[in-house]
Amino acid sequence: MKETAISRITLVFVLFFGLLSQAQSKKWTLAECVDYAIKNNISIKQSDLDNQIASIDRKGAIGNFLPTINASANHSWNIGLNQNITTGLLENQTTQFTSAGLNSNIAIYNGLQNQNRLRRANLSIVSAQYQLAKMKDDVSLNVANAFLQILFNKENVKVQKEQLANNDKQLLRSQELVNAGVVPRGDLLDIKATVAANNQAIVNAENALLISKLSLAQLLQLEDFQEFDIADNETDTKESSILIQTPSSIFEKAKEERVELKIAKTNMEIAEKDMKIAKGGYQPSLQGFYSFSTRAGYSDRIVGIDGNGDPILAPALPVFEQFDENKGHSFGVQLSVPILNGFSARNNVERSKVALERSKIALSQQELDLERNVYTAFTDAKGAMKAHESAIIALEARQEAYTYAKEKYAVGMMNAFDFNQSQTLLVNAQSEVLRTKYDYIFRIKVLEFYFGIPIIQ
């Protein structure tokens, strides 16, 4: 039995540490990063709260159509000479009174302000939803950019390590050439300096990789960024079909798909409703009202006068009977016509007109910004593609030049300085290919984004 229990405990520990190791070695895909960021990003959560506030404001706008109902109650003690509210006589005594009431008001007409407030609240919900969608799009683009930056830094580390391996081999070869007297000892020192510089480049590349992981982990709201890693997906740099489109066609598509214009249009419609609400202040308002009240006293009642002129007192009626006898109702309508209100209604209308004009200008500016962004994105994507193609051609040439320099150095026909220059140019060409590769991929993502193609397909 004891051995069985120990084996079970051992199995639990093995499973636990296996799951822990699997969790730490998880590699995130771009789709997982985008999905997780949308669910956990702080900016998106704030936009979602704005959406909830807009829904609450709509409930308030609906509530304006409902009547207001308020109940009240009062109990008082009167000591000394005071008027009995039941008999109307002045009496020098201590009395108690209880009163209760119910009041209700309802807006029958107020210049259609309630209707326009409800329409405005509905538009505010739509605007908040567009804002939330825009925030998700922005976060998705930021995540994609950070993801590609990690891929670039990973490949850059590989390039630097491969170069270090070549330099280490070259160092051994140089040692042999120095021992054989083919090259001077100074060349060996140059190679050693190159190896040291290459080690420093690896450190810098690894630091850049760590920082890029930190940036993406913060976008995802992850705490343990040091264990965070992404999947090394093969990224394709073939020419995208989006480049077949013209900038004008992409812009026309963007006007239909992008939420920036929808937000600006909705804000303009909200401003129009604000102006209608303000103009409603010019019109008369009609309200209906109803009130109910009752009261009860706790002192003796005067029911008559005796022969000596003294009042004849009788005990107070039961409280509920008094409430029934003393109840009263009041109802009617109230008309209010604005005549002079310190120009407040007029000023509100003028402010709403200015706000409406501002929203129209903002819509026009947003359309211009979108057109500029689309044309810029198209130009950047085209330029990034050409830059990547040129970088590949340059790398092929540098690779051949390096191979030729290595052969010359091996037979002593090139000094270490020139050989190191050729090697440095090769590393720079490799890095430029990587940089232009991921820059092209991101520029294509941005252009597709304006055309309505999701970041993750």
pLDDT tens-digit map of 359-389: 999 999 999 999 999 999 999 999 999 999 9
Q: Quote the tokens at residue 235.
A: 């990224």
Q: Say what the pLDDT of residue 87 is.
A: 58
Q: Is residue 57 predicted with pLDDT exceeding 90?
A: yes
Q: Is residue 18 predicted with pLDDT exceeding 70?
A: no
Q: Do the domain assignments include residue 19?
A: no
Q: Say what the pLDDT of residue 298 is.
A: 74
* Domain finish residue from 319, 336, 353: 336
Summarised one tens digit per residue, pLDDT across range 214-234 is 899 888 888 777 788 888 766
Q: Do the domain assignments include residue 21?
A: no
Highest mean pLDDT (candidates 79-88, 186-195, 312-321): 186-195
CA distance 431 to 209: 14
Average pLDDT over the chain, rounded to an integer? 84
Contact 307, 255 (CB under 8 A): no
- Return the higher-pLDDT residue of 96 and 378: 378
Together in a domain, 118 and 149? yes
Q: Say what the pLDDT of residue 234 is.
A: 60
Q: Do the domain assignments include residue 49?
A: yes
Length of the chain: 457
Q: Could you list the residue range(s) of the whole structural domain that residue 91 is in?
A: 70-109+286-336
3-state secondary structure 303-350: EEECCCCCEEEECCCCHHHHHHHCCEEEEEEEEECCCCCCCHHHHHHH
Together in a domain, 241 and 184? yes
Q: Say what the pLDDT of residue 454 is.
A: 83
Together in a domain, 407 and 368? yes
- Return the higher-pLDDT residue of 210 and 167: 210
Question: How big is the CA angle at 383 (ends 381 and 389), to the nearest 5 degrees?
Answer: 105
Q: Is residue 22 predicted with pLDDT exceeding 70?
A: no
- Return the higher-pLDDT residue of 116 and 452: 116
Q: Quote the tokens at residue 170.
A: 């070259």
Q: Quote the tokens at residue 60.
A: 């308030």
Together in a domain, 311 and 346? no
Q: Quote the tokens at residue 250.
A: 């992409």
* Domain finish residue from 275, 305, 336: 336
Residue 29 is given by DSSP the state -
Q: Say what the pLDDT of residue 14 is.
A: 39
Together in a domain, 245 and 101? no
- Return the higher-pLDDT residue of 266 and 83: 266
Ranking 17-21, 131-135, 228-232, 337-341 by mean pLDDT, the lowest is: 17-21
Q: Do the domain assignments include residue 411?
A: yes
Together in a domain, 293 and 347? no
Together in a domain, 96 and 126? no
CA distance 146 to 32: 13
Together in a domain, 385 and 423? yes
Q: Do the domain assignments include residue 2?
A: no
Count of structural domains, the chain: 2
Summarised one tens digit per residue, pLDDT across range 348-359 is 999 999 999 999
Summarised one tens digit per residue, pLDDT across range 123-146 is 999 999 999 999 999 999 999 999
Contact 362, 267 (CB under 8 A): yes
Question: Stretch 154-173: mean pLDDT, rounded?
Answer: 84
Q: Say what the pLDDT of residue 358 is.
A: 96
Together in a domain, 183 and 277? yes
Q: Is residue 4 predicted with pLDDT exceeding 70?
A: no
CA distance 205 to 23: 26
Together in a domain, 297 and 347? no
Q: Do the domain assignments include residue 356?
A: yes
Q: CB 191: neighbour CB atoms within 10 A?
A: 26
Q: Is 81 exposed, middle or buried (0-12, 13-18, 19+ CB in 10 A)?
A: exposed
Q: Say what the pLDDT of residue 183 is.
A: 64
The packing angle between helices 113-179 and 416-450, to 10°, is 160
Summarised one tens digit per residue, pLDDT across range 283-336 is 999 999 999 999 887 766 555 566 666 666 666 678 788 888 888 999 999 999
Together in a domain, 311 and 274? no
Q: What CATH number corresponds to the domain at position 52?
A: 1.20.1600.10
Q: Do the domain assignments include residue 307?
A: yes
Contact 183, 418 (CB under 8 A): no
Q: Do the domain assignments include residue 48?
A: yes
3-state secondary structure 66-128: CCEEEEEEEEEEECCEEECCCCCCEEECCEEEEEEEEEEEEEEECCCHHHHHHHHHHHHHHHH
Which distant-in-sequence residues (6+ apart) come within 8 Å of 425 by Cβ?
Answer: 398, 401, 402
Summarised one tens digit per residue, pLDDT across range 403-431 is 898 888 777 787 777 877 888 888 889 88
Strand partners, 273: none
- Return the higher-pLDDT residue of 10 and 193: 193
Together in a domain, 44 and 92? no
pTM: 0.78
C-alpha distance across the termini of the chain, in Å? 56
CA distance 40 to 44: 7
* Domain finish residue from 303, 319, 336: 336
- In this prediction, residue 393 has a pLDDT band, given cuts at 50, 70 and 90, of very high
